[in-house]
């Protein structure tokens, strides 16, 4: 059976490509979704792609991943730096997590240097623009292939 990767995006990422292109690039979130679906599909993965501006909705999607999803790719947006609730939900889901940031958060304001999510992530990608999403999917494709071998 095809494995599913859940790609989650937090607050304001629906604005991608519409404002601040110098920080976040010119691709829209719909472009990123299409790239993830095509790239993941080519690697034999099903991609579920979601964005929300509501923290409770994000927590529900993370809970629903339990025992159903092979890996989570999450750009938690500003919740990265504030949300113990998302940290706790990711632990409860018991699904591997890769944290993605389009910008290099460590080159930016101090408040972006701390992440609640990194503590529970297998790996973190920051500063590779939207390529980070593909890099995370590629990692799951190769690690899932190895675990099937
Ligand atoms: O670099 C990233 O991917 C971030 O997760 C993006 C968040 C920010 O709070 C994190 O510190 C780093 C912000 C997402 C907002 O995205 C926008 C995109 C275009 C225009 C306005 C906001």
Tell me whether residue 95 is in a domain.
Answer: yes
How far apart CA 100 and CA 84 sit, in angstroms, is 17
- Residue 46: inside a domain: yes
Report the C-alpha gap between 139 and 149 in whole angstroms: 16
* Short-list 50, 94, 99, 40, CA closest to 75: 99
Q: Is 48 helix (H, G, I), strand (E, B) or coil?
A: strand
pTM exceeding 0.95: yes
Is 140 one of the annotated active-site residues of the chain? no
The CATH number covering residue 141 comes to 3.40.50.9100
The gap from C-alpha 106 to its chain's centroid, in whole angstroms, comes to 18
Residue 2 Cα to ligand 1 middle (Å): 31
Q: How much of the chain is helix, strand and coil, in % rounded to 5?
A: 50, 20, 30
Predicted local confidence at residue 122, as pLDDT: 98
Total count of domains within the chain: 1
Residue 142, domain member (yes or no) = yes
Residue 34 lies in a domain: yes
Nearest CA to ligand 1 atom 13: 77
Of the listed 87, 101, 116, 140, which one is catalytic?
101
- The CA 75 to ligand 1 mean position distance, Å, reads 9
Which range marks the domain in which residue 144 is found?
Answer: 3-73+86-111+121-148
pLDDT per position in the chain (149 positions), as tens? 899 999 999 999 999 999 889 999 899 999 999 999 999 999 999 999 999 999 999 999 999 999 999 999 999 999 999 999 999 999 999 999 999 999 999 999 999 999 999 999 999 999 999 999 999 999 999 999 888 87
């Amino acid at each position: 059976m095809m494995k599913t990767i859940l790609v989650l995006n937090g607050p304001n990422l629906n604005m991608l490509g519409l404002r601040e292109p110098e920080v976040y690039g010119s691709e829209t979130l719909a472009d990123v979704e299409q790239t993830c679906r095509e790239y993941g599909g080519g690697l034999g993965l099903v991609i579920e792609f979601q964005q929300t501006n509501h923290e409770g909705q994000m927590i529900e999607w993370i809970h629903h991943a339990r025992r159903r999803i092979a890996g989570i790719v999450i750009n938690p947006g500003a919740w990265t730096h504030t949300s113990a609730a998302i940290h706790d939900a990711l632990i409860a889901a018991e699904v591997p997590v890769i944290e993605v940031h389009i910008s290099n958060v460590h080159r930016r304001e101090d408040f972006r240097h701390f992440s609640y999510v990194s503590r529970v992530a297998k790996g973190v990608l920051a500063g590779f623009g939207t390529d980070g999403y593909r890099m995370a999917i590629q990692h799951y494709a190769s690690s899932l292939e190895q675990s099937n071998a």
